[in-house]
Amino acid sequence: AIKIGVTPYLPRAVLQRSIAPLLAYLERRVHRRFELVVSDSYTQMMDALVKGQVDVADLTAYPFLLTQQRDPKIQPLATAVTESSKTYESYLVVPRESKAERIGDVRGKRICYVDSTSTSGYLMPRVMVRAAGFDPDRFFGSVQFSGNHYRALRDLLAARCDVAAVTSGAYVSARRQHIPIANVRILKISQPIPHGVFCAGSHVPRAVARRIRAALLGFDVQRELGRKVLSDTLRFSGFDKPDAKAFASLAAEMARTRR
């Protein structure tokens, strides 16, 4: 089986349910069996791709760039297009009743990040703090990592932190996960972030990687599934070729804002 790895940016059950139709399509197109692997952490998935424990990984931008630094021979295949958009955003969010109106107002407060290698749940929030004139390493009173975006929202609502960093997609789909998102408001929105990359490990034969790439680029959700998006939570409408320029600008931010 070809193992496709996914980082745990959403709960495991949500990812398994949402990605199942894509795996079924790939099996039809590539004529191979595909198996989904959801890692316990972002770093674990990066390690798995480099070590050849998974063959393809769906990595958001920051983990992709970090993995590419470790193994420049990984093979970018395709990037997701979400409802005709090639980008998404990171949100800094606070409870509805919070008096904070700008980033400076949450100085010294408790933040819930997602994971130290999350693009929208860590890297871009730090970029936003730095752009506001503060040192992200010293800005917050305490830092915790919630593990996934929905959990970060739940931790915020449970008063485990005063501000949370989440992807725009999780904020939009939170109500479907029974998260009372009306009790949360957006404090700051990041610049657009390129969607992550499905990439093949350097151990995967180029001919196999080309077949998977062709299948991904040919995936039309409307035609294959009879609906506009892959699922309520993963609102992919298809795939496109990775935009090298978009990742170059993010790499520049990454160089300034490191763990």
pLDDT single digits (tens) 165-207: 999 999 999 998 999 999 999 999 999 998 889 999 999 999 9
Query: What order of strands is seen across the sheet that includes strand 75-82?
Result: 34-38, 2-6, 56-59, 197-200, 75-82, 236-240
Query: Left (φ > 0), alpha (ψ -120 to 50) or beta: where does 16 sit?
Result: alpha
Q: Is the dihedral of CA 247, 21, 24, 30 positive or negative?
A: negative
For residue 184, give the nearest of 146, 142, 152 by alpha carbon.
152
Summarised one tens digit per residue, pLDDT across range 42-98 is 999 999 999 999 999 999 889 999 999 999 999 999 999 987 688 899 999 999 999
Report the alpha-carbon angle 193-191-171, nearest 5: 70
Residues 143 and 180 in one domain: yes
Question: Alpha-carbon distance 205 to 115, whole Å?
Answer: 31
Do 95 and 37 lie in one domain? The reply is no
* Domain end residue (candidates: 189, 207, 231): 189
CA pseudo-torsion sign 191, 196, 197, 201:
positive
> Using an 8 Å Cβ cutoff, are 73 and 126 in contact?
no
| Same-domain check for residues 200 and 228 | yes
Co-location of 110 and 176 in the same domain? yes
Residue 168 counted as domain residue: yes
> Domain tally for the chain?
2
From 161, 189, 217, the end of a domain falls on 189
Determine the structural domain holding residue 203 and report its residue range.
Answer: 2-86+195-243
Q: Is 190 within 8 Å of 84 (Cβ atoms)?
A: no
pTM here is 0.81
Residues 107 and 160 in one domain: yes
192 three-state secondary structure? coil
Answer yes or no: is 133 within a domain: yes
Both 94 and 182 in one domain: the answer is: yes
- Kindly state whether residue 259 falls inside one of the protein's structural domains: no
Paired sense of beta strands 193-194 and 56-59, if any: unpaired
Q: Quick check: is 152 in a domain?
A: yes
The CATH number linked to 115 is 3.40.190.10
My answer on whether 61 and 113 are in the same domain is no
35 and 104 belong to one structural domain: no
Q: For residue range 210-219, list pLDDT tens digits in order.
A: 999 999 999 9
Indicate if 82 and 200 belong to the same structural domain.
yes
- Please state, in angstroms and rounded to a whole number, the distance separating the CA atoms of residues 251 and 259: 14
Same domain, 37 and 71: yes
